Chain A
Amino acid sequence: MARTDALFLATEKYNGLLVTYPNNTADLVESAWNDDVSPDGDYDISISTDGHISLDDPSTLGEAFDQVGNNDTVSEKLNSYDAVLVIDNRNVSGGAGRAYVGTVGEDNALGYCQSDDVQLAAHELGHIYGASHEGDETHWQNFGAFSHDVMGYNGVAPSCNGNDPDLVRELRYMDCARNEIQDTIDSNL
């Protein structure tokens, strides 16, 4: 039985807001994960929210992601958690989030989200745990077509349902993502 601990780490942009920490986002992602990835309790996740970091006013997603990767607090937190996802609250250009793929348990097991959008957070967390976009080469070879889950990515790679632009991303880790996440946990943790 593998259990993994992840951290949602808010930035200074949360200061002064009614919601000080992304607690609700963490709870929703944790619930979806434990329902879908760990139905038998074998791959449970615990997502904590603890502390803040400050970013140096990044204007692009690339800048924000680089700053997160070089942040001392993030590095320190990775000594205690298997993965760290930084949750921001600012507009950056060039995308909404980014994460290192399949790095859980390593010193680069990190990602960045420009907002506390729950599906965005679930998506980037999935990447850290090895999940790729639905429709990527691996998926088509190994899994065929499945539902359009939270790792779906319309307009870039075809989703498991064939890149239907009318499909709506759901807060679910379906078969495509679940197998990759379980394999990565088995391999890395």
Chain B
Amino acid sequence: MISTAGYSRPLLSLLRRAATIAALVVSSGVTFAQVQSTVEAPDTGPPRLDGLTTGPYGLSTGPGGGLDQQIRLNGNVRSPGPLPADAPPPSADPRSFDGSWFGEQYLDAFEIKNDAYGNYVPFNEAGRKVMDQRLLANDSHRPYITPSVVCRSSGAPRDIIRVRFVIFQSKDKIDLISNANRTWWQIALNPALALPAGTKSYTGRSVGHWDGDTLVVETTGFRNRLYLSFRGTPLSPNGKLTERIRKVHENRWFLEVVTTVEDTTFYSRPWSYVRTYAWRPDYAILNEYNCDEQAGNPSSDPTAGFQPEPNDNY
């Protein structure tokens, strides 16, 4: 590691950014010209806390270096290879999502900077504060405890990013079972099966119906504040997610999920983001996720050194 003793803070910042750019170029193959086009651009978005700005790849960066390190360390994650030759297509029925899929976003899923239309995410003051506090916690190398840290489900939006999951579907309900955190997202298509209104859980209470060939899922009843992205785009327990899911074929098969967030605690208006999930029949076997073995160890810190997030009522 290069010693930084004696360098001024602005120069350190410049050197750090240069190192970040170089590492990103080496690891990802992105050209300097492409990276340069996003570096040092003035962040014309809403005011940010404590030195947070927009860095390379359009993601937040800060003075602590943790956010950049996060991208550096994760910048060379391999993409799944092509489908094997014997991979079958999904069901021809546009209303059948049965099978195995893979959350193909990566850096895009780290942080939601813009909504589906390219507008800034409409944080209100409380939402901006929560988001930026989460970013600063990462940036200062003292991240907050998330559900995953303590071996709880993070809920379906977070627990199907960059992991495999399988969908089992019947006329009365849909079960999505993820590789991550043993998340089991159950969607009642038959209202008689739905859990009682007011039920709270890590994954929420979901009821779905068909709108043509699009599945519309409404989820409420979260027991704690959610992470909609790795870096913590928040949803309060009072929030509601409406997900419009359809199966699409454009050169490949994928699920398109348009998520509309309604949460007056953290946002000034409803807003939407889009993610896609690739058809991967070669990812049908879920790995064992036995995090309780560590998180439940009575002899060790169950929070693994992460700090608790303030439960402030903003």
Tell me if chain B binds chain A.
no
* Residues of B in contact with A (beta carbons under 8 Å apart): none
